[in-house]
């Protein structure tokens, strides 16, 4: 079964949205949402990036980040997937409740259900790249591997202690 998500207020999968109110610390700053982080990284080290970081809502952060009157960093197309991966990783590392929701999806396909975004979501044709869904699934795999490694380490320590 494919799990579709989009709006931040959807239960239980709204937490997969970049607009969900699950803040985290990354790169020496507090980020209200992963959308704030992602949009600010288009203009690193600038006053505009700080303005985006302090935006009152994720929608406002997105509007500021999409403002083409300011030049994007030159390497944006090359780094944007890594920036999203960093944001998603930090968000789920910081919140046990949504980490559990992500892990509870098992091996299901996760798809951002938006008709307007063919890169991050499935797009109007349903054949978009779904990069946000892919990043979430990779994050889920890494979290699961980390939990397994942690459990194995704990078991080894307990065996040695006996």
pLDDT, tens digit, 9 for 90 and up, residues 5-22: 999 999 999 999 999 999
Q: In angstroms, what CA-CA distances link 35 with 12, 31, 50?
A: 19, 9, 13
pLDDT band at 157 (very low <50, low <70, confident <90, very high): confident
Instruction: Provide the mean pLDDT of the chain.
Output: 96
Query: Tens of pLDDT along 22-81?
Result: 999 999 999 999 999 999 999 999 999 999 999 999 999 999 999 999 999 999 999 999
State residue 156's pLDDT score. 80
CA separation for the pair 65, 118 (Å, rounded): 18
pLDDT of residue 74: 97
Confirm if 85 and 138 have CB atoms less than 8 A apart: yes
Q: From CA 11, how far away is CA 14, in angstroms rounded?
A: 6
Asked if residues 69 and 42 have their Cβ atoms less than 8 Å apart, the reply is no
């Amino acid at each position: 079964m494919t799990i579709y998500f989009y709006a931040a207020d959807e239960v239980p999968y709204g937490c997969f949205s970049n607009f969900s109110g699950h803040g985290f610390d990354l790169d020496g700053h507090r980020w209200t949402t992963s959308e704030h982080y992602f949009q600010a990284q288009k203009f690193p080290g600038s006053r505009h990036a700080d303005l985006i970081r302090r935006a009152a809502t994720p929608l406002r952060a997105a509007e500021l980040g999409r403002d083409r009157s300011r030049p994007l960093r030159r390497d944006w197309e090359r780094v944007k997937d890594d920036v999203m991966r960093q944001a998603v990783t930090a968000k789920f590392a910081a919140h046990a409740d949504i980490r559990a929701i992500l892990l509870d999806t098992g091996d299901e396909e996760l798809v951002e259900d938006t008709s307007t975004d063919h890169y991050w979501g499935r797009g109007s044709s349903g054949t978009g790249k779904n990069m946000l869904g892919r990043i979430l699934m990779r994050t889920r795999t890494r979290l699961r591997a980390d939990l397994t490694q942690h459990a194995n380490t704990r078991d080894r320590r307990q065996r040695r202690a006996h």
